[in-house]
Amino acid sequence: METFVTSVRERGGDERVRGHYDAESHQKAPVTSLQAKTMVDTAEAEQLLRQGLGKRGNRQESPGDTAATTDSDMLSNGIHGYEQLTQSATLQWVKRLVTMTLVPIFLIMFVPNLVILIWYTVMHCEGSYMKMYSVFQGRSVLAGLRDIWSLVNYPSAPIVWILIGYCAYALAMMKLLPGKTVTGPLTPKGNTPVYKDNGFVFFVLTIVLFWALTLALRPFGLSPSILYDRFDEVLSLLNIFSLFFCAVLYLKGRFCPSSTDSGSSGNLIFDYYWGMELYPRVFGFDIKVFTNCRFGMMVWALLVCVHAVKSFELHGFVDSMFVSAFLQILYITKFFWWEAGYLRTIDIMLDRAGFYICWGCLVYIPGLYASVSYYLVEHPVNLGPFVTLLFLALGALSIYINFDADNQKQEVRYADGNCLIWGRKPDIIRAKYQLENGDVRESILLASGWWGLSRHFHYIPEIMLAFFWSVPALGDNIMPYSYVIWLVILLTHRSYRDDTKCGKKYGSFWNQYCKKVPHKIVPYLF
């Protein structure tokens, strides 16, 4: 998918942005999100980029006080003198040290262990986290991790060549496959990313090629299940690759950024962790489209197929594996069908291409998101026809609701509000905001249909779907529900993050919207 960036200043005029698309996707980086409120570009411009703000004034900030002036804390209005206290130079220095240095160092060093722990739990602890935890009892965490890593094999030549071959194939298809031209959201610096929308064609072609090669290689004793058998090698290779990949992205952003949506915080560690560029491109290839879509999401689908093949080789047809694999593939199909919409979410429009998001897409998605089917290979469950059909029907219904919610917002956006939602004229708010250069833009906030039930109602069917592709494992272990638990935490946090971003971007318009739709995710509860 070829990407480049154009500027509204070059085109001239006050281009009106039709529609509001602040919905988020769960293919997100796996670690606790830093809002990057302390990131410094050209002062207020970086603040706008991270939080989606309209420019509220002409005051300029210095790099030294950006963190203090852009920070927002719930306690600031509740404790007398808190605002003055938090603006002290010493406390601000401590806050920057923690958020921009210590936390990134901890996450960069710790999170690569997470996927290895999942692998170890499945392959050496019968899928039991309690057995995995016993490795750490009576000893240090480092000692336990050292013993676990000692069981991980170095990447073998077949695994290395499979990764190289897939990356070459995916990059080639980004260029060669046909697709219409679509645009991403306008950035605060006036740039509009442009993409070739060929993700769905790529997905279908890749799945067809996978099964064709699986059948063609079977007479020669070759099987894609080698990826299951050597998954420790896969994870170790992806961890190594992602660390070097993010270093290359840092150097590129430092010395040859692709657009004005880039900059440094002045802290090398934080720049490596968060990233230097919003829309990096190398030789015309959009990096975030490759890592998030062509690698993260597509490899997730391929691993599910690999697990299904391995399960069939060991046990024949197993209905629990079929339910889990079918629902995951159906969801990923929906993702690629809607990929142009995903390119307008927070993953793309706010998160820079650094360790935070790239490690998540390159390593965490393959390591965690496909973990249910990974577990079911060695733990087959016979559900029976009735339960199988029930789980399939409820999972498919969840996908439909999720898709319909996203589609409602797209319809209203493209029709500029002149359409029907559930048979009625949509309830909308035309929210104005400003870019960094002072240009006024307008977005549509939809307050009816699914979006009238809660501000992030589409998270509910997403969580339901993940539950229905996990529940075929039943209740022997909690490990198969790791992704569901992670998703609940991620989306709950993201609802706060999105509300903060939109509140600062749209101001009083967002307050008006929240009065119409008072609940974040669960109607009448939360």
Question: Sign of torsion, CA 457 458 463 468?
Answer: positive
Look at residue 99 and tell me whether its pLDDT is greater than 90. Answer: no
Look at residue 200 and tell me whether its pLDDT is greater than 60. Answer: yes
Look at residue 139 and tell me whether its pLDDT is greater than 50. Answer: yes
Q: Are 390 and 433 in contact (CB under 8 A)?
A: no
* pLDDT bucket at 436, cuts 50 / 70 / 90: low
Residue-level pLDDT at 505:
81
> What 3-state DSSP class applies to 281?
strand
In sequence order, the β-bridge partners of residue 442 are 432
| Average pLDDT of the segment spanning 60-88 | 41
Look at residue 85 and tell me whether its pLDDT is greater than 60. Answer: no
> Is 113 contained in some domain?
yes
Dihedral, 199, 205, 211, 213 alpha carbons, nearest 10:
-120
Q: Which residue has the higher pLDDT, 248 or 21?
A: 248
What is the reported pTM?
Answer: 0.80
Residue-level pLDDT at 513:
86
Residue-level pLDDT at 86:
53
Q: Which residue has the higher pLDDT, 506 or 226?
A: 226
444 φ, ψ (degrees, to nearest 5): -100, 125
Q: Count CB-CB contacts under 10 A for residue 155.
A: 22
> Is 124 contained in some domain?
yes
| Average pLDDT of the segment spanning 1-9 | 41
Look at residue 301 and tell me whether its pLDDT is greater than 90. Answer: yes
Residue-level pLDDT at 21:
35
Look at residue 34 and tell me whether its pLDDT is greater than 50. Answer: no
> Is 522 contained in some domain?
no
Q: Are 306 and 169 in contact (CB under 8 A)?
A: no
Mean pLDDT score of the chain: 83
> Is 208 contained in some domain?
yes
Look at residue 242 and tell me whether its pLDDT is greater than 80. Answer: yes
How confident is the model over 467-487, as pLDDT tens digits? 999 999 998 899 999 999 999
Q: Where are the beta strands (DSSP E) in 335-458?
A: 428-434, 440-446
How confident is the model over 323-355, as pLDDT tens digits? 999 999 999 999 999 898 888 887 787 789 999
Written as one letter, the residue type at 259 is: S
Look at residue 102 and tell me whether its pLDDT is greater than 70. Answer: yes
> Is 219 contained in some domain?
yes
> Is 158 contained in some domain?
yes
Percent of the chain topping pLDDT 70: 83
* pLDDT bucket at 212, cuts 50 / 70 / 90: very high
Of residues 375, 362, 360, 290, the one with CA closest to residue 325: 375
Show the tokens assigned to 36.
Answer: 């990057």
* pLDDT bucket at 306, cuts 50 / 70 / 90: very high
> Is 521 contained in some domain?
no
* pLDDT bucket at 20, cuts 50 / 70 / 90: very low
| Average pLDDT of the segment spanning 4-20 | 38
Measured CA to CA, the distance from residue 513 to residue 63 in angstroms comes to: 33
Q: Which residue has the higher pLDDT, 431 or 369?
A: 369
Show the tokens assigned to 213.
Answer: 């090669």
| Average pLDDT of the segment spanning 289-309 | 96
In order, the DSSP letters of 409-431 are: HHHHHHTTT-S-BTTB---EEEE
Look at residue 272 and tell me whether its pLDDT is greater than 90. Answer: yes
Q: What is the DSSP letter of 34?
A: P
In order, the DSSP letters of 261-314 are: SB---S-HHHHHHH-SBSS-EETTEEHHIIIIIIIIIHHHHHHHHHHHHHHHHH
Residue with tokens 């923690």: 98
Buried b (16+ CB within 10 A) or exposed e, 436-471: beebebbbbbbbbbbbbbbbbbbbbbbbbbbbbbbb
In sequence order, the β-bridge partners of residue 433 are 441
Residues in the chain: 526
16 φ, ψ (degrees, to nearest 5): -85, 130
Look at residue 53 and tell me whether its pLDDT is greater than 50. Answer: no
Measured CA to CA, the distance from residue 412 to residue 449 in angstroms comes to: 11
When mean pLDDT is compared across 82-86, 133-137, 212-216, 327-331, the lowest value belongs to 82-86
Measured CA to CA, the distance from residue 162 to residue 382 in angstroms comes to: 33
When mean pLDDT is compared across 8-12, 148-152, 263-267, the lowest value belongs to 8-12
* pLDDT bucket at 59, cuts 50 / 70 / 90: very low
Q: Which residue has the higher pLDDT, 428 or 377?
A: 377
> Is 249 contained in some domain?
yes
Look at residue 66 and tell me whether its pLDDT is greater than 70. Answer: no
Residue-level pLDDT at 87:
60
First to last CA, the chain: 38
Residue-level pLDDT at 308:
97
Q: Where are the beta strands (DSSP E) in 143-222?
A: 180-183, 191-197
Residue-level pLDDT at 121:
96
Measured CA to CA, the distance from residue 34 to residue 99 in angstroms comes to: 8
422 φ, ψ (degrees, to nearest 5): 55, 40
Domain that holds residue 418: 4-131+143-516
Number of domains into which the chain is organized:
1
Measured CA to CA, the distance from residue 49 to residue 52 in angstroms comes to: 5
In sequence order, the β-bridge partners of residue 262 are 277
354 φ, ψ (degrees, to nearest 5): -135, -165
In sequence order, which residues have a C-beta less than 8 Å from that of residue 424 and are 6 or more positions away? 448
> What 3-state DSSP class applies to 353?
coil
In sequence order, the β-bridge partners of residue 181 are 196
